[in-house]
Structure 1
Amino acid sequence: MGILGAIVDNSSRIGKEESVAMQIAVEDFLNTSNQRLDLRIRNSQGDPLQAAIAARSLINTDQVQAILGPQTWEEVSLVAEIGSKSHIPIMSLADATPVWATELCTFLVQASPNKLKQMEAIAAIVQRWEWHQVTIIYEDKDFSAPAMLSHLSDALQEVGAEISHYLAIQPFASSSLSEELQRLKRSQFRVFVVHLSLPVAVELFEKAKIMNMMEKDYVWIIMDPFASLVHSFNASTISSMQGIVGVKSYLPENESRFQDFRYKFHQRFSSEHPEEVNHEPSIFAAQAYDVAWTVALAMSKKKQGRQQIKSNILQSDFDGLSGKINFTGQTIAPAHTFQIINVIGERYVELHFWSDGRGFSETIGESDTFKSSMNALGQVFWPGGFGYAERMESTNNCQSTENWCSNHSNIQTICSSGTTLQELPFHLPYNFLPFDGTFDALVEQIHLKNFDAAVGSISILANRYQHAEFTAPYTESGLVMIVPVRSRTRQKAWLFIKPFTNAMWVLIGATSIYNGFVIWLIERNHCPELNGSISNQVGTLIWLAFSTLFSLNGNKLNSNLSRITMVVWLFMALVITQTYTAKLTSLLTLPRLEPTVVDVFALQNSNATVGCAGASYTSKYLEEVLHFRHNNIKNFSRSDEYAPALRRREVAALFLDLPLAKVFLAQNCKSFTMTGPTYNVGGFGFAFPRGSQLLPSVTQAMLKASEDGTLQDLEKKMLASQKCMYMDPEEDEHLSPSFSPSYFWVLFIFTGGTSSMALAIYIFRAYNSMSMSEHNVIWKLMMAVMKHRGNQRGRFSRKVSDIALTTPTISPNATEY
């Protein structure tokens, strides 16, 4: 008969379950193999010294061949030293045993699976809801905490998140716990990962509920050992944990062997521990059963020397209640599968399973479909109800998030509107606090991590990247020049010709003269005032060209041809006259402004003084890049100083960042304008500490707001509120251009064609009515022109005169049509 020792903490739920499970394992082994084992259990009460005393008693007095437990590393470290000296295998049930411990203590065996993969399951949950910062709450004296924190930090970084705050809890320090929770509440922390023992965790959640931290906008994630013991809580404790999500070790409860164990455990546990409200076994009971069974098998083999028992233990390979039992070195295989639970009502519900390398699934099995996220696997009940955590996020001292927007109303509007925050896939609580200092000093504070972020009109500059990182610019970037404006219509004497282009005026004159000539030619034999000397007739023709429509009534016209010509001419003149009147009216009523300075070279050549905002980089840019003299650059610390300085000619021009320039011009569009090129600079962005996990999400949110037009709409509304909209000089140049012939070419073709047709008909009919002698005169005239084309002008003129003297007068009756 072999003797097996065990050290448990019977004052804890885990110790009670382990004790009962070990007894059942020994009894089952007897029933299966017909080999009797004597189990000697000692109670350490969670005290490492008591555990060491119990180990010496078991070895020296009871002559045990192996010891199961204890459950904490503080106890295991003392027991392992005693066991190694006596060559007694110690089966550690602690959460994590360091590698060096098994190397130093050759008879120490890590029998509790390493659960560090649990950290990756937690990171997968954080990734699913796109949180980026979490707060970890752990016990100050927990030996397993360093390894757990390291693995959790690495797992979170893999999914783009980080541990923003560490809170170490002193066990059983009630006042300290309340103070720490109050500090967390004030600091706006929202996503918490809890790694605490059962009594400390219960106290934490009871106080959190009293402080209203178990409500909407809070997220709580628990892990082992606490998560695997949720089933043992009473109704009062469960009521303080509503909405908690847990990651617990997977326990194959549906297998027949486990069902048999559960039945036996329920009977024995309820009998030995009636004070417990729930008698269901947890993963710790199953692991204790498997460890006892493993040692029993090792001790049942021949040659049961202490060294041989250890060797037999490490060669174990079978399926236990908690999973596969095999060892690598002196350590049992780690756990790879975990269960996701959600506390709702009086118990918890099983949401999903998570397996290393495979992700989430609804069930466990070889044929199961695993998914990388929890999107399609059900709805989670968070504190406050379903769906409330969809836009949750913790922040690193969020109450200190800085905003220096007050000096510039446009930036303040963008900051306070929450446009970027609305595009984030999570909720980001924040508070705006003013910073009394320069932007360079503010960015340096970001470097010191005194603030989480800085928002406002912060220029993105190369030298600032040594202190912080920046989002993409949220406004148009560039440095522009603003100058006073003056009237473009100051030459008012010539304003009357502005409605039409020069070509239009020439065409109107030519058309009028041509139409006047046609009417004069047709009507000259009927109107005595159209005859007379050549100079008189030329003057009459010109007068007729521009005044016929107003002074010569249509009733006085004798020819239908001239009447048709005049009607078409009248229609064209009416349209042109009305257009001219309307255009001239607009020129007299609308302001026409132009910049007083057109480019930087004019300022440099005139040795003018220029102004800029107080930002140091602007002054440096003007001096080093645009080559203004240092003495010719004036810095302004306040935006209300810009306009008076320009009006009093203290500065000839003002250089501002484009967003600030737009706001200034929206308030002063009647007096100043933007001119010259836009000089490329970094633009405005938000600053974050280097390596901040929030930076990628905020940048992405800003780009979304820009791409869908939200930022542009916000800018338009902001500028419209100034009630003096900015007008680009180039746009003003084309608002009311002078009219060219291209606007009226149809009218000109119509009236010209009509006049030409009337003239052609008149000439044709006049020619037909001439006598033979008159035809001969015309023929001789044409021949003379052709014959003497190259002769001197005097001779040609005499020939023409001779012919003309013999030309009879055409009868007036010949032209009456």
Structure 2
Amino acid sequence: MGKLGPLWSFLVFVFIFTQKARVNGSTNSAGNDNVMGVIGAIVDNSSRIGKEESVAIKMALEDFYVKFNQSLVLHIRDSQRQPIQAALEAKDLINTQQVQAILGPQTWEETSLVADIGSETGTPILSFADTTPKWAPERWPFLLQASPNEFKQMKAVAAIVESWEWRRVTVIYEDRDSSAFRVLPHLSNALREVGAEISQLVALPPFASSSLSKDLERLKEGQCRVFVVHLSLSLTERLFEMAKRKKMMEKDYVWITTDPITSLVHAMNASTISNMQGIVGVKSYFRENGGCFQNFHHRFRKRFSSEHPEEDNHEPDIFALTAYDAAWTVAMAMRESKKVSHLLLEKVVHSDFHGLGGKVEFIDNKLVPVNIFQIVNVMGKSYRELGFWSDGQGFSENLNENAAYNSSMRVLGQVFWPGGPWYTPSGWTLPIRSNPLRIGVPVGSLFKEYVSVKNDQSESNISFTGFAIDVFKETLEQLPFYLPYKFFPFNGTYNDLVEQIHLKIFDAVVGDVTIVARRYQHAEFAHPYTESGLVMIVPVISKTSNRAWLFMKPFTMAMWILTAVINLYNGFVIWLLERNNCPELKGSVLNQMGMLIWLALNTLFSINGGRLHSNLSRMTMVVWLFVALIIMQTYTANLTSMLTVQNLGPTVTDVEALKSSNAIIGHCTGSFLSKYLVDVLHFNANNIKNFTSIEAFAQALETQEIAAAFLEVPLANLFLAKYCKGFTIAGPTYKVGGFGFAFPKGSPLVSSITEALLKVSESGQLRELENIMIAAAKCEDVEPDKETPSLSPNSFLVLFILSGGTSTVALLVYIFCLDKSMLRRKIMWRLMKAAMRHWRCQKQRFSRKVSNVAESACNSPNTFDPQNRV
């Protein structure tokens, strides 16, 4: 704009010599020759704000003279709210009236042109515009924002929205107010922080009433019922008059006004107030209980009524206080700077005092922002002060030291809403039959069981079927209200489909749409109606072929051990029973151990018991052969089953094996999985292929074009139901979102749909619909693969007890018989020993007797007498 200086000079020259337009002319605030300087002011004298500013500036300079006995010449010009007019007046004030500073104007459009002139001439400009860009000080070093900006109050508006759990708002602003474009981003950010969003922006032209009527009619047909209004006073009056005429000031509607409107409610006439019943407004707060304000208030009312008798209300507000403080700031700076421009600017920037409107301090050439706002509610003939909102603390009923703060506005008490005081608006309304929900449905779904869109050669005969459609219809049946809707086909990617909600093309999306984080930029999802997760599908191979230890599989390890123990035990019993009758069972220890093992195995594979000599051996052998026959037949049957029944396993067991072998993998075209496979699972992007049909998936897996396919769990289940013969799931399940219905961000329908969907799930209807879908695609010619189980000892427990018991009985009988035989031998031995002792005793006696006879014969005369033989 600096390059337009010559143009402005020419316009000023033409203006001065053709119009010489003046409003109030020159004013000497003191009326004497003790003049300290000259101040200019540019206001819109046709507006209430401009009138308040004009009176307040005059009062400030009069009070300055009373205090310091120094007067300032004041020149006030009317901009008529026209930027060009404001620029011309600024040029005249600087060049003709030799002003040292300019107060105003009110709008940014005017301020930007005046700032160009002020920067060229080195004249400080103290603007009353509510917003100034961050880059303004660099471009216009002599421009200062003398009114607190409106950015903070947007947080107060967002806090009100959050308090009543509204999620979408419509913003209405004036089309020519460029400051709105700086305010709206702050409002959008504040709403986003509390989980809400701006659903629609409506720019109203300043004068076209027909356009205003059409805009309100369009808003009435929509679902959002929360409106944030940021307009000038004149346009606000026409807005609410039209809104009431269209019955938009009734039940279910919410109107929130910003400070430029709310601070002027006191100045509105009775007709306008009656049209605004129930609105909630954010209003700049200033202390009214100080002595200085009370004095100002009394004098302002008197003077304002005198200068502007056409106004019904004479109360000052924040605009008057801001203008008063700005004029006082310039006057004090001029008193200290001695009319030097740069010193004047420096003194203004370093101002630091408490004025009528609050703290006067500049940071980055801007007045410090206000952190406290008043929340008011229009009702009756004026408004009611509900309480306060403080940045960083929240809502409170008062501002004393013991004030209790809360994040919710509900603590401020009952609010009088449009349509009645005892009803809190929901902030939205249901679609009507004439304007049903526009629901987008994907055309290119690979799995027609989920979504199928068939076009019968005319738009009117498009049919929408599938699991997702059925679930959505069942969900709507559970809603406590009627929700009209209409399906529309969409032929594009799923990301583009979800984005159509953000672009207002569709009101919702129904289909096999996966819930992923990046899609939340454009929409919000209800609770998923399918299982969530991502799995890997791979071909299968036989697990039983070429297994060296397959012969061990029919029995469990415990069964094999118990069979060996019983077998050895029976062999030992037979060996013990037969060893006395069979010389080959005797010999060295090593030979006897070999024979024992041979007997154990012989009992399994031989049924010839003719060589056994003991009946006990024969009894043990018969029982064990019976048991062995059953065990062998069972083993043979189980092994045959394992060899004949196909036992399949995955070709690949995990993702790492795929990556290490640099294998090719596949996924659905248009899916979010490509990014997930690369960024999360770290596959090479060149090894990933897209497929447009499940038949192509199956063929690629069978021909080994790809080693694995990645599908979401619900689609994988359906795929395996169709191709159950040669594929299986391998590896872990990776957590990703399931399928869900998408709605606009902040849509009040999300919570209702989620609740209804949970009812469908908990009643079993969701599971029933899923079973019907899976059954329709079930592979009927192949039974599910069931691996033949190994047999445990529990299956043969009775037989093992019978065999072991028989062998034990035989062993006990043998031991008993052996004991009896040994007892008889012991008795005979003792009898023989007794007989031998008796015989030896008799023999000794006979010997002694013979010896005695011989001795007596020798001693007698007749040595030999044949008659006396012994």
Classify the secondary structure of the residue corresponding to 1:349. strand
Classify the secondary structure of the residue corresponding to 1:264. helix
Instruction: Name which of 64, 75, 79 aligns with 1:29.
Output: 64
- Using the size of structure 1 for normalisation, the TM-score is 0.59
Classify the secondary structure of the residue corresponding to 2:409. coil
Classify the secondary structure of the residue corresponding to 1:318. strand
CA distance in 2, matches of 1:464, 1:621: 27
Give 1:223 shift.
0.9
RMSD over aligned Cα atoms: 5.2
CA distance in 2, matches of 1:472, 1:600: 39
CA distance in 2, matches of 1:6, 1:116: 25
1:254-285 per-residue CA deviation (whole Å, 9 max, x = no partner) reads 33322221111111112221221221111101
Give 1:11 shift.
0.3
CA distance in 2, matches of 1:121, 1:90: 30
Instruction: Name which of 287, 290, 299 aligns with 2:325.
Output: 290
Structure 2 partner of 1:736: none
Amino acid at match of 1:387: Y
- 1:90-129 aligned at under 5 Å gives the runs 90-129=125-164
Q: 2:529 touches 2:738 (CA, 8 Å); kept in 1?
A: yes
Structure 1 partner of 2:291: 256
Structure 2 partner of 1:215: 250
Structure 1 partner of 2:423: 387
Amino acid at match of 1:688: A
Structure 2 partner of 1:199: 234
Structure 2 vs 1, CA of residues 324 and 413 (structure 1 numbering), >3 Å: closer, same or farther?
Answer: same
Instruction: Name which of 728, 731, 740 aligns with 1:686.
Output: 740
Structure 1 partner of 2:410: 375
Classify the secondary structure of the residue corresponding to 1:164. strand
Gaps (5+ residues) in structure 2?
1-34, 443-450, 452-462, 536-644, 649-690, 706-712, 720-726, 776-815, 821-870
Gaps (5+ residues) in structure 1?
480-597, 602-614, 630-654, 662-675, 727-785, 791-817
- 1:385-534 aligned at under 5 Å gives the runs 385=420, 386-390=422-426, 392=428, 399-402=437-440, 415=472, 431-436=484-489, 444-448=496-500, 449=502, 451-452=505-506, 454-456=508-510, 458=512, 460=514, 471-474=526-529
Give 1:704 shift.
5.8
- 1:469-618 aligned at under 5 Å gives the runs 471-474=526-529
Structure 1 partner of 2:760: 711
Instruction: Name which of 257, 266, 271 aligns with 1:236.
Output: 271
CA distance in 1, matches of 2:314, 2:137: 34
Structure 2 vs 1, CA of residues 398 and 137 (structure 1 numbering), >3 Å: closer, same or farther?
Answer: farther
Instruction: Name which of 344, 348, 360 aligns with 1:313.
Output: 348
The answer on 1:73 being equivalent to 2:108 is yes
CA distance in 1, matches of 2:752, 2:307: 59
- Higher mean C-alpha deviation, range 102-111 or range 338-347: 102-111
1:397-419 per-residue CA deviation (whole Å, 9 max, x = no partner) reads 98424479985598667545767
Structure 2 partner of 1:186: 221
Amino acid at match of 1:473: P
Give 1:200 shift.
1.5
Structure 2 vs 1, CA of residues 133 and 625 (structure 1 numbering), >3 Å: closer, same or farther?
Answer: farther
Q: 1:117 touches 1:335 (CA, 8 Å); kept in 2?
A: yes
The answer on 1:227 being equivalent to 2:265 is no
- 1:302-341 aligned at under 5 Å gives the runs 303-341=338-376
Structure 1 partner of 2:567: none
Classify the secondary structure of the residue corresponding to 1:434. strand
CA distance in 1, matches of 2:520, 2:208: 43
Give 1:431 shift.
4.6
Instruction: Name which of 143, 162, 165 aligns with 1:130.
Output: 165
Structure 2 vs 1, CA of residues 100 and 409 (structure 1 numbering), >3 Å: closer, same or farther?
Answer: closer
Pairs aligned (count): 568
Structure 2 vs 1, CA of residues 373 and 656 (structure 1 numbering), >3 Å: closer, same or farther?
Answer: closer
The answer on 1:177 being equivalent to 2:212 is yes
Give 1:246 shift.
1.4
Amino acid at match of 1:176: S
Classify the secondary structure of the residue corresponding to 2:740. strand
- 1:661-810 aligned at under 5 Å gives the runs 685-688=739-742, 693-694=745-746, 710-715=759-764
Q: 2:251 touches 2:418 (CA, 8 Å); kept in 1?
A: yes
Give 1:454 shift.
4.0
Classify the secondary structure of the residue corresponding to 2:389. strand
- Using the size of structure 2 for normalisation, the TM-score is 0.55
Q: 2:761 touches 2:767 (CA, 8 Å); kept in 1?
A: no
Give 1:202 shift.
1.8
Structure 2 vs 1, CA of residues 393 and 133 (structure 1 numbering), >3 Å: closer, same or farther?
Answer: farther
Q: 2:172 touches 2:230 (CA, 8 Å); kept in 1?
A: yes
Instruction: Name which of 161, 165, 190 aligns with 2:200.
Output: 165
Q: 1:443 touches 1:467 (CA, 8 Å); kept in 2?
A: no
1:482-522 per-residue CA deviation (whole Å, 9 max, x = no partner) reads xxxxxxxxxxxxxxxxxxxxxxxxxxxxxxxxxxxxxxxxx
Q: 1:477 touches 1:659 (CA, 8 Å); kept in 2?
A: no
Amino acid at match of 1:434: F
Amino acid at match of 1:364: L
Give 1:442 shift.
7.1
Give 1:319 shift.
0.7
CA distance in 1, matches of 2:385, 2:90: 39
CA distance in 2, matches of 1:599, 1:441: 41
Classify the secondary structure of the residue corresponding to 1:37. strand
CA distance in 2, matches of 1:624, 1:700: 42
Amino acid at match of 2:423: G
Amino acid at match of 2:234: P
Structure 2 vs 1, CA of residues 413 and 92 (structure 1 numbering), >3 Å: closer, same or farther?
Answer: same
Classify the secondary structure of the residue corresponding to 2:264. helix
Structure 1 partner of 2:789: none
Classify the secondary structure of the residue corresponding to 1:338. strand
Classify the secondary structure of the residue corresponding to 1:251. coil
